[in-house]
Amino acid sequence: MSEIQAPKEIFQRLEADVVDQRVALEQISVALYKHLSDIKVGNIMLIGNSGTGKTTIMRAIERMFESNIGLGSFLNTIRLNANIVSNDESTETESSVIVERLHQNALKIMGDHPDPERFRQLMEHSVVFLDEVDKIRAYVGDKANPRGILAQEALLTLIEGEGISRPLTVKNADGTLVQHKVHIDTGRILFICGGAFEGLYDMVYRRVASGETKDKLIQEYVVAETQEDMEQKEHFSLHDYVRYEDMFDYGMTPQFLGRFDEVIVLNDLTIKGLMRIFIEPHNSLFREARRYFRSLGIELQVSKEGVREIAETAYDNHRLGARALRMVFKRVMRGIEFDPHTNYLVKDQGAKKVLTITREMVQRYS
């Protein structure tokens, strides 16, 4: 085990990169802590619209492993699109796509010093992130989806924990090559699957609003035009209402979904969250832009009003989530990046060149 002593420490590391997803990160941190402690842990299913942070979460996990010297046996992480897993009609081939990727990645990590025990650890301690898992649903509408059924069956075999043997060639001290057969328990691999699950929101809302189940829509009171006027407003959050039965109806088979301990719904991003994403993460758009302008001898700044305007404009394209930030910011910076010295620069008292992105600039160029 590493120097990480509690799930809260994992949460703090992930939160540096992932904004506005506190509840999801808490659940993921517990699962990762169990995985690092070699305690049996169920897998994780993430539900979230495009741009809400599914891929960002996986990248944050990768960075945590890479930056912690005590987590050397957990470096084997891969990201795959679920459609790649379901490309072949052979279930054996489908499951081996993941195993082969993990195998090759483990060899790359070990480099010129392959070792059977380290190889086993890298394989069994790996984390597999499958994106767009909603695309391998067992049926779409009233029609069966054979590829989805095959993919779920193949993944189920792997997730349940099949024992496999993988070849590893090791060079002895005398230069001779010896091939080992290393036994791998795939049941120790942690799977994090994610998808947008388009249509699930409407499907669950219809179920709850129908009144045919025990779930009832939450009614909350909000202030209308005056303090004396109050009106009732329905509150619906997919996180509060989604059930395993809804996932079955969507097309995820009970056998497959039964291997996931957590079904986590990511929050849709707020304007405040988009503002933080634009500024705070180590690889944020703003930090990237600052590095670029520093190479030109210019200090890039942005006013608080400018950040809010970028976030508000991106929020209008909510289906893109955080990706809308890049679209908006690139429109603003297109001409400025090419020729920042024309009409944009001011000098401070130290004669340092400063470029400040204001609300007016965002409105003008976005």
Cα 42 off chain centre by: 17
How confident is the model at residue 145, as a pLDDT?
87
How confident is the model at residue 140, as a pLDDT?
81
How confident is the model at residue 70, as a pLDDT?
87
Per DSSP, the three-state class of 128 is strand
CA distance 150 to 91: 6
pLDDT tens string 256-297? 998 898 889 998 888 998 999 999 888 899 999 999 999 988
- Report CA torsion sign: 313, 317, 323, 327: negative
Cα 60 off chain centre by: 8
How confident is the model at residue 45, as a pLDDT?
94
- The pair of structure tokens assigned to 252 is 């995820």
- Nearest-10 Cα torsion for 238, 150, 258, 252: 20
Q: Are 258 and 154 in contact (CB under 8 A)?
A: no
Which residues does 158 contact at the CB level (< 8 Å), separation at least 6? 95, 98, 99, 186, 189
CA distance 1 to 9: 14
CA distance 298 to 346: 10
Strands 230-235 and 218-223: antiparallel
Q: How many CB atoms within 10 Å of residue 210?
A: 9
Residues (pLDDT < 50) of the chain are 1, 88-94, 221-222
CA nearest to 270, candidates 58, 14, 12, 19: 19
Task: Return the ∠ at Cα 18 (arms to 13 and 21), rounded to 5°.
Answer: 110
How confident is the model at residue 77, as a pLDDT?
95
How confident is the model at residue 20, as a pLDDT?
86
Strand partners, 47: 195, 265
Strand partners, 190: 127
CA distance 264 to 24: 6
- Domains, the chain, with CATH or none: 7-205+233-265 (3.40.50.300), 271-365 (1.10.8.60)
